[in-house]
Amino acid sequence: MKLKTFSLAFALCLPLAASEEDKEALRKLRGIYEQAIAARDFSPLQPHLAADFTGVMITADEVKGYDGILAYWKQVEDYLGKDGTYKVTIEPDETTFEGNLAIAKGRALEQVTRKGSAFDFTTQWTAIARKEGNAWKLVRIQASIDPVNNPIVASLQKMKLWITGGVAALVGLIIGRLLPRRKAQA
């Protein structure tokens, strides 16, 4: 009897196996997200967001609902400028299914082009989807980037070095021009 009880309890603790239909639905959702970013049109994503959808983007900005996504991407587009681009390829790891929830994680290969400069970086992400009826809806997404070792920080550090070097050269030129005059007057 104890063995049966233990076996039943153990079985209930195991994550439920997802059907191939569920896995395919989530793969389609990934494609919709990638296409929405490529087209800069998020309307195809809207029906796949839960009413209580929230997210934290790689900039640490929190978004709530579809309107939050639109406001965030407006900021991204303003930053990119007219000729800027933003591309993303999602590389998911295995998804864990638990009842009507799916917990997915993985990497995103991202490329930002702004004012002729391209930045390639990899982010880590987590997404939680909930099955509502027969459809999977995104409830929460979160993305993060290494805050120290990423190409944007490296570019800023390089720019800082150029500015510091330029200021030092300018100060050196000014001092170099003024010193000979002081000696000549003395």
The per-residue pLDDT string of the chain (186 residues; one tens digit each, 9 = 90 and over) reads 555 554 444 444 444 556 889 999 998 999 999 999 889 899 999 999 999 999 999 888 999 999 999 999 999 899 888 888 889 999 999 999 999 999 999 999 989 888 888 888 899 999 999 999 999 999 999 998 866 566 555 555 556 666 776 667 767 777 777 777 666 565
122 in a structural domain? yes
- Looking at residue 155, its pLDDT comes to 54
Same domain, 76 and 136: yes
Same domain, 88 and 7: yes
Same domain, 96 and 152: no
Same domain, 48 and 97: yes
Beta carbons within 10 angstroms of residue 55's beta carbon:
21
Check if the beta carbon of residue 110 is closer than 8 Å to that of residue 86: yes
94 in a structural domain? yes
Check if the beta carbon of residue 79 is closer than 8 Å to that of residue 113: no
Same domain, 103 and 152: no
CA 81/CA 46 separation, integer angstroms: 25
Read off the CATH number of the domain in which 81 is found: 3.10.450.50
Find tokens 């987590």 and name the residue.
126
- Looking at residue 177, its pLDDT comes to 74
Tell me the Cα Rg of the chain. Answer: 26
Same domain, 100 and 163: no
Same domain, 133 and 171: no
Beta carbons within 10 angstroms of residue 26's beta carbon:
19
Ramachandran quadrant class, 116 (left: phi over 0; alpha: psi -120 to 50; beta: rest): left
- Looking at residue 9, its pLDDT comes to 47
Same domain, 152 and 141: no
CA 7/CA 9 separation, integer angstroms: 5
184 in a structural domain? no
Q: Exposed (0-12), middle (13-18) or buried (19+): which is 145, by Cβ within 10 Å? A: buried
Query: What total number of domains does the chain contain?
Result: 2
CA 136/CA 130 separation, integer angstroms: 6
- Looking at residue 115, its pLDDT comes to 86
Same domain, 114 and 155: no
183 in a structural domain? no
- Looking at residue 11, its pLDDT comes to 44
79 in a structural domain? yes
Beta carbons within 10 angstroms of residue 79's beta carbon:
12
Same domain, 22 and 109: yes
Looking at residue 16, what DSSP letter applies?
A: P
Check if the beta carbon of residue 45 is closer than 8 Å to that of residue 65: no
Same domain, 171 and 99: no
Check if the beta carbon of residue 103 is closer than 8 Å to that of residue 95: yes
91 in a structural domain? yes
182 in a structural domain? no
Check if the beta carbon of residue 122 is closer than 8 Å to that of residue 130: no
Residues 6+ apart with CB under 8 A from 6: none
Q: Which domain holds residue 171?
A: 148-177
8 in a structural domain? yes
Same domain, 169 and 112: no
- Looking at residue 59, its pLDDT comes to 86
